Chain A
Amino acid sequence: MRLEHSQSSSKIGARILIIEDESTIAELLRTGLTYEGFRVSVVSGGEEGLECADKEDFDLVILDLMLPDIDGFEICRRLRLRGNDIPIIMLTARREIPDRIKGLNMGADDYVTKPFSFEELVARIRAVLRRRGSAAEPTQLSAADITLDLEAHEAYKGGKPLELTPTEFALLELFLRHPRRVFTRETLLNRIWGLDYEGDRNVVDVHISNLRRKLGDRERRLIRTIYGIGYSFRPD
């Protein structure tokens, strides 16, 4: 199995190794995590996974427990035995408490059970990376003269604090994470308001307008309207 690297648009995206033999799940993780700005490699076997983790420099491993050759616990144990302390998130259908405890005792950083929420998985990946002090997951995002402190949940423009609602903060965080990417209204709705949001679709426009006002972006140069598609953040 050859390694497949997917370079994201972000220059600083964390490198994630996915060891998963279920092709559909591997594919959705690759596509989804790449879209989130991570650089993703996928292997389907335990031996390959160990080899990759040793040879290349990854920031995090997502490890399925049920693999055809070596089981996930064993991979975790061997990695730790070799002194490799790369962050590991275990992904498994085994949801019993003893399995979780075993996983965490083997040196896993987190344990996510199938069926999982992708949003939660991303949040856990970021949390593990931050906790491990990985340079790939900053606690601050900056673009133009805007700075977001993700831990304190505070926003600054030109050094002055901004009063943002949680929704506006989430919108701004998404824009800062993916500068220049064009987001459709639907994508923004799904990501910020949730997949089960059924309310008025104009809330996106209303919140973008409020955000622009608070950023002093009257000419709409920072948050551009892409006609017929959606919005894009252009810090340059």
Chain B
Amino acid sequence: MTLLYLGLLSALICLLGAILYTDTKHFLISTTALRLRAQAKPVIERWFATGPGLPAPLAPPSPPSPGLPPAPPSESRQPSSGPVEQLTEDTAVSLSQALTSRDTTALVIDNQGHILATGRRLPEEPPAAPPDPQRINRALAGENEITYIDIANGQRTLVVLIPLRRTPTDPRILGVVQLNTPLATIDQILWRQRLLIGAGIIVAVLLGALGGLWITGSALAPLKRMIATCKRIAAGDLSQRVNLPRHYDEVGQLAAAFDDMVAHLEKAFAAQRRFVAAAAHELRTPLTAIKGSLEVLLRGSLDDKAAATKLIQGMYREVTRLNRLAEQLLSLTRLDTPVLIHKEKVNLAQFLNTVVQEAKLMAQERVITLNPGYPIVLEADPDSLKQVFYNLIDNAIRHTREGGKIEIGWGKKHASVEIWVADDGEGIPPTDLPHIFEPFYRGDRSRSRRRGGAGLGLSLAKGIVEAHGGTISVESSLGKGTCFRIRLPISDPERG
């Protein structure tokens, strides 16, 4: 990933450098060519207009050379000559000399392609490249803008060809002026440019690599932390968290969401573990009693019929308890599968009447009354709903004295029905109240198992009510009684 990014970066920088370099090169060469043309133009025009007698204004006058007097014959011969009509050797010499300077040498070539004159007189003036006949012909044919690079005396030289016309629109071309200027300075500039761009590329790529590593590193660090955390969690430690400082970027949000998820999982697992531990504990007590009783019987008590009967009765009670516990555990796990709730229309008055009639059979000297409200039809699973009320009534029976009163009634509240099961028993201490729906929870007062029940009845009731989309709540005052309230949605309010 990082390498790909680096490769892309360096390719881009190289491309940019190359564009910059070629552009500079073109710019430098074309400006030079342009300057040569611009400088040559007035000289040529003046030469046509006034003849070759005038001193060359092009360059600062060359220092007079002792060996060679500056264009002595032509200048002296034609001091007042008129406009040049013909290209002769003499006129050509004066033109070429006028165009030649310290950095430029001019050749004058006639319309046959022969060199008529070369302006180079001093050794420091640059050498001229040999004319290229093809390009000369093109220039003679009227092409104005021929510029190329050639080698003159081993030096790279810029060559500019200018066709000689008396006026710019004159179709007759007398000859061609070839201007030569060495590229040494430009090449030097370009070489330095290359050096600079090269060094720049290396520095930029290095910096880019370092910066890229730093950026990707700091961007990937939280992900690496998450990977490490994931591995530790997979190894079984759910207390691990990524714990990134809350950033507002996506990775920070992901880490926070991840931590939340693991926290939920940890809670769920802990609850599961507590549930299993509590269930195991509930199983262990009756199993201990049964195992111990069997041992005592086999070690000789079986011979004493009265003692043996007592022990066997105890074992029967414990097996009944185990059986009930198994049923309730099964019901609790079934609640996680909503398919097993088969809803049908339930006439509440009829339903509760049946429940109360059956509950009276196990009432053990408690007075159970039904306080009917408006007729209401519910969508519910009657079997599991029956379990809810049996559990609540059973709970009420266990926590009231003999002769205690248990009342069941209902009332309509908006789009739901509220059914209550109230008793005048001992009540639930406020410290236990928030926990009574937790599986296997037993308050101090009901811890003794002689009161029966494993502590699953109420959590089962809660589970069933919630599977019906309802809620269950409890209020209680110590010594006065307890009231459970169940709220269930009414399927068809018009019939309610």
Contact = CB atoms under 8 A, between A and B. Distances in A.
A21 B450 contact: yes
A157 to B, nearest CB: 26
Interface residues on B, range: 20 to 34
Contacts of B296: 28, 31-32, 35, 118
A24 B304 contact: no
Interface stretch (A50-58, A126-134, A187-195): A187-195
Contact of B300 (A29, A93, A116, A191): A191
A115 interface: yes
A28 B294 CA distance: 9
Nearest to B448: A68
B293 A35 contact: no
Interface stretch (B46-54, B239-247, B281-289): B281-289
A66 interface: yes
A184 B304 CA distance: 12
Interface in B279-326: 281, 284-293, 295-296, 298-304, 307, 310-311, 314-315, 317-318
A114 interface: yes
Interface in A71-115: 93, 114-115
Interface residues of A, number: 31
Contact of A21 (B287, B311, B449): B449
Contacts of B295: 32, 117-119, 195
B114 interface: no
A68 B303 contact: no
Contacts of A186: 298, 302
A149 interface: no
B292 A116 contact: yes
A222 B339 CA distance: 72
Contacts of A34: 307
B298 A190 contact: yes
A154 to B, nearest CB: 25
B304 to A, nearest CB: 7
B301 A25 contact: no
Given A35-B307, A93-B281, A119-B299, A24 B287 contact: no
A23 interface: yes
A21 B284 CA distance: 15
A169 interface: no
B447 interface: yes
21 contacts: A21-B450, A22-B285, A22-B449, A23-B314, A24-B317, A24-B318, A27-B311, A28-B292, A28-B314, A31-B311, A32-B301, A35-B300, A35-B307, A44-B448, A93-B288, A115-B291, A118-B296, A119-B299, A183-B300, A184-B303, A190-B300
Interface of B: 281, 284-293, 295-296, 298-304, 307, 310-311, 314-315, 317-318, 444-445, 447-450
Given A115-B287, A187-B300, A190-B298, 9 more contacts: A21-B448, A24-B286, A25-B289, A31-B301, A32-B299, A35-B299, A115-B292, A186-B298, A187-B299
